[in-house]
């Protein structure tokens, strides 16, 4: 049985499903997936918890399944956060180094200086992601510690989220007897699982197409440059099929997963699918192209919104590695081809990689966030080898952040 401190658990609380991924780090630092639990998610809308009871129940069932498979007891999880309340800002800070040489303390101070910006009272900082450091006007520095210089600047990407949404996630986990080790922006987690370092260096857009939201993350020069959330996802496609095919939401979702295509030209006109009717009427045959005709304009519209966001961010033309699609909706037939047309960039499907054990089981884009959460957690622990003091510090850091969210009452 794995030792508890080698366990890393990712809990993706999605709009469509809850996925609990359990992994164990082997002595070389490689992550082996040892358990997975999934359960349909009830209680979220557009990435945000709207019903605590139903969410707690779904989480409990997913976690129990994962515990059973892995043969462990799960106590602490890395969980994701998403929704249109999320905001991303680029900010920068400046400090003078104390001894003419940059120390770790100077770096901490300059990151702190960058967080001094006005954010709305109902929002809290979730992440401060360093992009680069500038020492005495020399820019593009990734590891400043030990370098000589008197003026140290940091450029960072700050992600904020609604306090109440974060609190509700923590509340749901706590009710299931789980501690939240950290809360990670979902597209940041997914990017850990599906992007390569080379792509992040030369410029890449990650698009996590989920059930309730489509999440964007832009990387360039190895760091995150822009984040955004579009509150449209697979649920909207399902709704369009409900209306267009006159069938129930459950059947429409099944049909979409089995036969869905978002490019009319790749579907043969001869292909027929059987559409179950409502109210006891007999199923009807229908050309598969009709489904594609319903889905194509909607997915195209979604891609156009993403394109407008990329243009607004100013990064559209700098993405040499193009675009990576992940999340459940990226499995639609023709999604990659349609994206290539709309964005005029190379596009590929992103599946979780760089894990062992039950890697096959989590190789679907649906598990990008779940697997990414454990990779994020692993990197975070690896960067700071956890002695007792370290682990106490991590705890107090997370605790401090949670306490900030809860005000003084926690
Ligand atoms: N094979 C498939 N083909 C097309 N669509 C699919 C397929 N499998 C799943 N989907 C759709 O993907 C969506 C779920 O994706 P995913 O599991 O990534 O979402 P989520 O993480 O639960 O939601 P969110 O990230 O928005 O909170 C649903 O709309 C589902 O119908
Ligand atoms: Mg998701």
The C-alpha atoms of residue 238 and residue 241 are separated, in whole angstroms, by 5
Ligand nearest to C-alpha 333: 1
Give the closest ligand to the alpha carbon of residue 350.
Answer: 1
- HSE-up of residue 129 (Cα within 13 Å, Cβ side): 24
Give me the helix-helix angle, 368-383 and 186-194, nearest 10°.
90
Mutational pocket test of ligand 1: of 209, 210, 237, the residue with most ligand atoms within 8 Å of the beta carbon: 210
Closest ligand relative to 15 C-alpha: 1
pTM of the model: 0.91
Mutation choice for ligand 1 from 21, 49, 328, CB with most ligand atoms inside 8 A: 328
Tokens of 44: 């979220």
What does the pLDDT read at residue 27? 80
> If you write DSSP's letter for every residue of 262-301 in order, what string do you get?
S-GGGS-TT-EEEEPPSTTPPPEEEEHHHHHHHHHHHHHH
The residue whose CA is least distant from atom 13 of ligand 1 is 211
Residue 214 Cα: closest atom of ligand 1? 26
Q: In this predicted structure, what is the pLDDT of residue 389?
A: 43
Distance 388 CA to ligand 1 centre (A): 40
d(CA 161, CA 127): 9
- Report how far residue 346's alpha carbon sits from residue 199's, in angstroms, rounded to the nearest whole number: 12
Is residue 164 within 8 A of residue 74, CB to CB? The reply is: no
Name which residue sits closest to atom 20 of ligand 1, judged by CA: 14
Q: Distance from the CA of 364 to the center of ligand 1, in angstroms? A: 11
Please state whether beta strands 356-357 and 31-40 pair in parallel, antiparallel, or not at all (unpaired). parallel
CA angle 253, 259, 265 (to 5 degrees): 125
Burial of 305 from C-beta contacts in 10 A (0-12 / 13-18 / 19+): middle
Nearest-angstrom CA–CA distance, 324 and 406: 36
Q: For residue 380, what pLDDT is reported? A: 75
Q: Which residues share a beta bridge with 301?
A: none
Q: Kindly give the interhelix angle for 163-175 and 52-70, rounded to the nearest 10 degrees.
A: 50
- pLDDT of amino acid 403: 54
pLDDT in tens, 348-381: 999 999 999 998 899 999 999 999 999 999 987 6
pLDDT for 28 equals 81
CA of 212 relative to ligand 1 center, distance in Å: 8
| CA-closest residue to ligand 1 atom 7 | 257
Which residues form the pocket of ligand 1, taking CB atoms under 6 Å from any ligand atom?
14-17, 41, 47, 82, 210-213, 233-235, 238, 253, 256-257, 260, 327-329, 331-332, 366
Task: Please give the CATH topology (third level) of the domain spanning 87-161.
Answer: Dna Ligase; domain 1 (3.30.1490)
- Residue 234 C-alpha to ligand 1 middle, in angstroms? 6
pLDDT digits over 331-357, tens only?
999 999 999 999 999 999 999 999 999
Ligand 1: residue of 11, 12, 14, 16 to mutate (most ligand atoms within 8 A of CB) is 16
What phi and psi values does residue 73 have, to the nearest 5 degrees? -105, 130
How far apart, in whole angstroms, are the C-alpha atoms of residue 106 and residue 102?
A: 6
CB 19 within 8 A of CB 369: yes
Helix axes 288-313, 234-245, angle to 10 degrees: 150
Low-confidence ranges of the chain (pLDDT < 70): 1-5, 381-410
- CA–centroid distance, residue 35 to ligand 2 (Å): 19
- Name residue, tokens 């894990």: 355
């Amino acid at each position: 049985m794995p030792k508890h401190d080698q366990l890393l658990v990712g809990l993706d609380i999605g709009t469509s499903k809850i996925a609990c991924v359990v992994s164990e780090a082997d002595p070389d630092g490689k992550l082996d997936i040892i358990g997975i639990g999934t359960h349909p998610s009830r209680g979220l809308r557009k990435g945000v918890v709207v019903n605590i009871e139903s969410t707690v129940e779904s989480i409990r069932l997913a976690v129990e399944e994962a515990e059973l498979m892995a043969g462990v007891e799960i106590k602490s999880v890395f969980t994701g956060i998403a929704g249109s309340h999320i905001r991303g800002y680029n900010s920068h800070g400046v400090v003078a180094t104390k001894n003419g040489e940059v120390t770790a303390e100077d770096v901490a101070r300059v990151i702190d200086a960058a967080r001094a910006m006005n954010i709305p009272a109902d929002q809290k900082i979730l992440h401060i992601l360093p992009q680069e450091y500038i020492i005495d006007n020399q820019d593009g520095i990734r590891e400043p510690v030990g370098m000589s210089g008197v003026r140290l600047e940091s450029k960072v990407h700050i992600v904020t989220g609604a306090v109440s949404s974060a609190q509700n996630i923590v509340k749901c986990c706590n009710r299931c007897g789980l501690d939240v080790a950290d809360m990670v922006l979902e597209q940041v987690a997914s990017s850990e699982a599906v992007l390569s370092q080379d792509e992040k260096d030369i410029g890449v857009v990650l698009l996590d197409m989920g059930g309730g939201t489509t999440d964007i993350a832009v990387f360039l020069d190895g760091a995150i440059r822009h984040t955004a959330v579009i509150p449209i996802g697979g649920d909207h496609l399902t709704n369009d099929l409900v209306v267009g095919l006159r069938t129930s939401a459950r059947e429409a979702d099944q049909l979409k997963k089995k036969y869905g295509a978002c490019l009319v030209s790749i579907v043969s006109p001869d292909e027929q699918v059987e559409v179950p009717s409502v109210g006891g009427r007999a199923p009807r045959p229908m050309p598969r192209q009709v489904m594609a005709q319903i889905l194509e304009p909607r997915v195209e519209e979604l891609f156009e919104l993403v394109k407008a966001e990329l243009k607004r961010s100013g990064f559209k033309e700098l993405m040499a590695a193009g675009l990576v699609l992940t999340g459940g909706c990226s499995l639609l037939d023709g999604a990659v081809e349609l994206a290539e047309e709309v964005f005029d960039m190379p596009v590929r499907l992103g599946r979780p990689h760089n894990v062992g054990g039950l890697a096959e089981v989590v190789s679907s884009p649906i598990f990008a966030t779940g697997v990414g959460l454990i990779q994020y957690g692993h990197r975070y622990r690896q960067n700071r080898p956890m002695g007792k003091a370290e682990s106490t510090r991590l705890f107090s850091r997370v605790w401090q952040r949670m306490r900030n969210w809860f005000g003084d009452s926690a």
